[in-house]
Amino acid sequence: MDAFKGCFCSTKTSKLPRDEDPIILASETPFTVNEIEALHDLFKKLSSTIVDDDLIHKEEFQLALFSNSSKQNIFSDRVFDLFDAKHNGVIKFGEFVRSLSVFHPNASEEDKITFAFRLYDLRQTGYIERVELKEMVLAILSELDSTLTDDAVDSIVDKTMIEADLNGDGRIDPEEWKDFVTKNPSLLKNMTLPYLKELTLAFPSFVLNTEVPDYK
């Protein structure tokens, strides 16, 4: 997610649809109006990487994550699917802000746990199956350019299933996942991006130039 740090400039947010209005988005997320306007500059940069159409396509999303638009990875595909709330193959600004908000330091732990569960629930069945867990472990290792033997990966997956699958039905339900994450808080470490709380501190010229008052 570090790729989302991007670069920001002091241009003002252009006219946006009502559901993407900074004031409305600020009322629905932990972001302030100024932070959302700063995010709009980042969104404009990401959405024009390949096609300048104010939409983030999967190839642009992968380029932001991996610096390679052709690299296939279950992890990036699943994150893209969760950001693409309307399931139309592209990410609009409102979807970008609402989805990214779960990584804000002020977002609730419950929201972070839910997002992480949905990330691992690859087939969207409402459960995390062993095969899904293994696929995600392999995908994350690939993203980190790390490799483990099949036995080591199976050991990680088996240990997780033993600890998390409390009722022994061979899958992890949302309550079991919540209990497991509560006992292993390090699992949510990557669910918080501290710099999201410092957007306007890092770019004071942007704050000085904005015409929108900060409502939070």
1 lies in a domain? no
81 lies in a domain? yes
How does DSSP assign 137-153, residue by residue? HHHHHHHTT----HHHH
For residue 167, is pLDDT > 50?
A: yes
Report the alpha-carbon distance of residue 34 to residue 24 in Å, rounded: 12
Q: In this predicted structure, what is the pLDDT of residue 192?
A: 82
The domain boundary, picked from 55, 90, 107, lies at 107
Same structural domain, 115 and 66: no
Look up residue 14 and give its DSSP letter: P
189 lies in a domain? yes
The domain boundary, picked from 83, 107, 131, lies at 107
Give pLDDT tens digits for 19-54.
789 999 999 999 999 999 999 998 999 999 999 999
Same structural domain, 48 and 114: no
Pick 167 or 140 by higher pLDDT.
Answer: 167
Report the alpha-carbon distance of residue 105 to residue 102 in Å, rounded: 8
Domain with residue 87: its CATH number is 1.10.238.10
Predicted TM-score of the model (pTM): 0.78
Same structural domain, 25 and 103: yes
Pick 13 or 177 by higher pLDDT.
Answer: 177
Contact criterion met (CB below 8 Å) for 193 and 209: no
Report the alpha-carbon distance of residue 11 to residue 206 in Å, rounded: 8
205 lies in a domain? no
Give the domain extent around 115.
108-194
Mean pLDDT of 198-209: 41
Give how many domains the chain has, as a whole number.
2
The domain boundary, picked from 107, 130, 162, lies at 107
Give pLDDT tens digits for 64-118.
876 655 556 788 889 899 999 999 999 999 999 999 999 999 999 999 999 999 9
Q: In this predicted structure, what is the pLDDT of residue 88?
A: 96
Q: What is the share, in percent, of the chain residues with pLDDT greater than 70?
A: 79
91 three-class SS: strand
H helix or E strand, kind and range, residue 185: none
Q: In this predicted structure, what is the pLDDT of residue 210?
A: 38
Q: Which residues contact 114 (CB under 8 A, 6 or more apart)?
A: 174
